[in-house]
Amino acid sequence: MNDAAARDDQVTIALAGNPNAGKTTLFNSLTGLRQKVANYPGVTVERKEGQWQMDDRLVRLIDLPGLYSLDATSLDEQIARDVITGKQAGISRPDVVIAVVDATNLERNLYLVTQLLEFGIPVVVALTMIDLFERQLHKIDREMLSALLKCPVVEVNAKTGRGIDELRAAAAAALGSEPVLPEPLLEAVRDDTTNGKIFARYSFISDVAQESVWHSDQSSHRLSDKIDRVLTHRVFGLAILILVLLVVFQTIFSWASLPMDLLEKGFGALANEAKELLPAGILTDLIADGIIAGVGGVVVFLPQILLLFFFISILEDSGYMARAAFLMDKLMARVGLHGKAFLPLISSFACAIPGIMATRTIESRRDRFATIMIAPFMSCSARLPVYTLMIATVFAGQTVFGIISVGAVLMLAMYALGIFAAIIIAFLLKRTLLKAPPPPFLMELPPYRLPNLKTVLFNMMTRAWLFLKRAGTVILAISILLWALTYFPRAIDTAGLRADSEQRTAIGGEVSEPSLPESEQLKQSFAGRLGHAIEPVIKPLGFDWKIGVALIASFAAREVLVSTLSIIYNVGSDDNAQSETLVSAVRDAKRDDGSPVWTPLTALSLMVFFVLAMQCMSTLAVVRRETNSWRWPAFMFAYMTALAYTAAFITYQGGKVLGFD
């Protein structure tokens, strides 16, 4: 039996639910590691699929995009509707739909449930957040709710495993059953008017909630509202948000320093070991100075990547990230951005590619394109190694008020600069090329809850694997190419060759070909020639030709700048002057006149350049696909590069005028 036939025979169950309803946590709990992530054919909506052990067989579990309704006004809703109706290529019509319902927001969640019931597919309701609901001293009559909806209702808690076995049994029992639609929903189906259908659903939902839910009069359930008065305050809320981010960056620097030092020294020892064990020659140089130095120079930042996504997951899972979105939404509306733009922009802090793909939820073409054009300003995780290297090189050990490290302040400043630039560009675009009034946006704040440690760790490991996979593929290939560009063509010391020839001829010996010092070899290599060619252009920014080589290489991927500098400074140092780590090598680098290459002003200029420049070919490719034109990625590349150059020029030259060099 071929794979397609096997899939047709396999039971398919779909998970559907509102955003922040706990659907992803439940999906991870049911599937464990038996899952994969891809895109739906022909679109950029993420497709998550896993296997769920049900009795003695594995069923196919599809995690539908988070959505509030199936009215198909966005691409996510259209995809979910196509999956449920069996119109999505590669996925058979689900045999059962598990509707994930947040018990603390029952009425809002039930709207989607009523639509699912109308499709004639067996539905099982999984009540999540039930522990939080009960802690608020509310009560829910599950049997009554099940009777009114005419489908099974199961209370689940993915953290503790509560209700998972019951959910499995309910889903198995629903297979092949004939769904029964509640009478009020039959009237909604028969109604020919859109408004009539909507009010019939809302009327049914209201009746269901009143019959099955009892809310306590205790003040404890109002604690969330009291906290929100502070965290969403237009002044105190922003101050707290800045403080939270500052603490996050401070912690990243503090906790990651030891493992990063160990990794850096480990890769240095590995390179030395390779040189000692392998015979001298081009292959050994490639392994030690190209592969190990290039890939290792990036992998050492893995602890910071892990910590960054640890805190991002904590903030998302606790409900605080939604409060941050609420705070920023007011500012975004003033510059003309759609409220839905916030989530793609937040995603861009991890990587601009999924952030740009997430703009598909924005219905307006002009609003979607405006969001795409500014998404790369969000400092993605690929910029983190660059920021860290610059801070560790010239700002290490410095503090503000004796408590907060200068590194944490600079890191926050770089993130803030990217956000500020995005706001300004969005303001200009929405009043010129992409002029259009932003539609109103309603956003619900989820309840506060303790983060799910399993989900947090899973997100960390997923991002770590993607980072290591990139280091083992893209960065490895670029490192080998860069090493070759710095290694060839091999230059010969003609003066030394002539002297050696005369000496050898006098005694009747063989003539050798003495090579130049490695620093001179780098200058005459292909990379050196390219760097010298662009040096006049970048010199006003405080950059020398070696930095120029690294800048060019980083257009393939931002973090490649680190591996490029690792290769360049390793190749460019004489054998008796090689530094043990990249930080010390960068710190010890000298210009031709003996002055240090990396001053605080040069490092700051480079960081500013990296905040604003478009240095990711993959992002441009995704922009081309999303806009269906090369004009927009070309425009993005041109204006971001010009903006980065101008800002770095002002930073460096202005700093020199003020005496900061």
- DSSP secondary structure letters along 480-534: HHHHHHHH-SPPB-HHHHHHHHHHHHHHT-PPP-PBPPHHHHHHHSHHHHHHHHH
Nearest C-alpha neighbor of 52 from the set 22, 28, 86, 25: 28
**What mean pLDDT comes out for the span 430-444?**
73
Higher pLDDT, 336 or 534: 534
pLDDT at 575: 43
186 in a domain, yes or no? Answer: yes
DSSP string for residues in 24-67: HHHHHHHHTT-EEEEE-TTS--EEEEEEEEETTEEEEEEEPPP-
Q: Answer whether residue 325 shows pLDDT above 70.
A: yes
The angle that helices 526-538 and 545-554 make with each other, rounded to 10 degrees, is: 100
The answer to whether 295 touches 327, Cβ cutoff 8 Å, is no
**What mean pLDDT comes out for the span 526-548?**
94
**Dist. CA 323–CA 185, nearest whole Å:** 35
The answer to whether 72 touches 81, Cβ cutoff 8 Å, is yes
Helix (H, G, I), strand (E, B) or coil at 182: coil
59 in a domain, yes or no? Answer: yes
> How confident is residue 195, by pLDDT bands cut at 50, 70 and 90?
low
> How confident is residue 444, by pLDDT bands cut at 50, 70 and 90?
low
Q: Could you give the residue ranges of the DSSP H alpha helices within 217-319? A: 223-231, 236-277, 282-285, 293-299, 302-318
What's the mean pLDDT when you consider all of the chain? 84
> How confident is residue 7, by pLDDT bands cut at 50, 70 and 90?
very low
**Dist. CA 596–CA 615, nearest whole Å:** 26
Question: Considering 160, 195, 217, which residue would you say is the last residue of a domain?
Answer: 217
**Dist. CA 265–CA 272, nearest whole Å:** 11
pLDDT at 442: 54
**What mean pLDDT comes out for the span 285-298?**
88
Question: Considering 190, 217, 244, which residue would you say is the last residue of a domain?
Answer: 217
Asked if omega into 259 is within 30° of 0 (cis), the reply is no
482 in a domain, yes or no? Answer: yes
Q: What is the pTM of this model?
A: 0.67
Q: Answer whether residue 520 shows pLDDT above 70.
A: yes
Q: Percentage of the chain surpassing pLDDT 70?
A: 87
The answer to whether 127 touches 79, Cβ cutoff 8 Å, is no
Backbone angles phi, psi at 37, to 5 degrees: -125, 130
The secondary structure element, H or E, covering residue 132 is: helix 130-135
534 in a domain, yes or no? Answer: yes
pLDDT at 43: 62
CB atoms within 10 A of CB 276: 9
453 in a domain, yes or no? Answer: no
359 in a domain, yes or no? Answer: no
pLDDT at 473: 85
pLDDT at 578: 46
- First CA to last CA distance, the chain: 71
> How confident is residue 215, by pLDDT bands cut at 50, 70 and 90?
confident
Instruction: Using the CB atoms, write b or e for 41-55: b if 16+ within 10 Å.
Output: eeebbbbbbbbbebe
Q: What is the dihedral of CA 73, 75, 80, 81, to 10 degrees?
A: 50
**Dist. CA 597–CA 547, nearest whole Å:** 9
Most confident of the following: 414-418, 512-516, 623-627 = 414-418
Lowest mean pLDDT among 71-75, 171-175, 191-195, 232-236: 191-195
387 in a domain, yes or no? Answer: no
> How confident is residue 35, by pLDDT bands cut at 50, 70 and 90?
confident
Backbone angles phi, psi at 14, to 5 degrees: -110, 140
Domain count, the chain: 2
Please report the sign of the dihedral spanned by the C-alpha atoms of residue 22, residue 24, residue 30, residue 33: negative
Domain that holds residue 475: 471-657
287 in a domain, yes or no? Answer: no
> How confident is residue 55, by pLDDT bands cut at 50, 70 and 90?
confident
- Interior angle at CA 26, CA 19 and CA 3, nearest 5: 105
Give the list of residues 6+ apart from residue 414 with CB closer than 8 angstroms, or none.
Answer: 379, 383, 387, 607, 608, 611
pLDDT at 499: 47
Give the list of residues 6+ apart from residue 57 with CB closer than 8 angstroms, or none.
Answer: 11
pLDDT at 571: 41
> How confident is residue 574, by pLDDT bands cut at 50, 70 and 90?
very low
pLDDT at 222: 63
Each residue's pLDDT tens digit, 137-183: 788 999 999 999 999 999 999 889 999 999 999 999 999 899 999 98
The answer to whether 562 touches 470, Cβ cutoff 8 Å, is no
> How confident is residue 4, by pLDDT bands cut at 50, 70 and 90?
very low
Q: Percentage of the chain surpassing pLDDT 90?
A: 38
Most confident of the following: 17-21, 65-69, 366-370, 650-654 = 650-654
**What mean pLDDT comes out for the span 391-408?**
89
Give the list of residues 6+ apart from residue 255 with CB closer than 8 angstroms, or none.
Answer: 303, 307
The angle that helices 142-149 and 194-212 make with each other, rounded to 10 degrees, is: 150
Q: 99 - beta bridge partners?
A: 16, 125
Question: Considering 217, 249, 264, which residue would you say is the last residue of a domain?
Answer: 217
Sole residue written with tokens 């700002």: 395
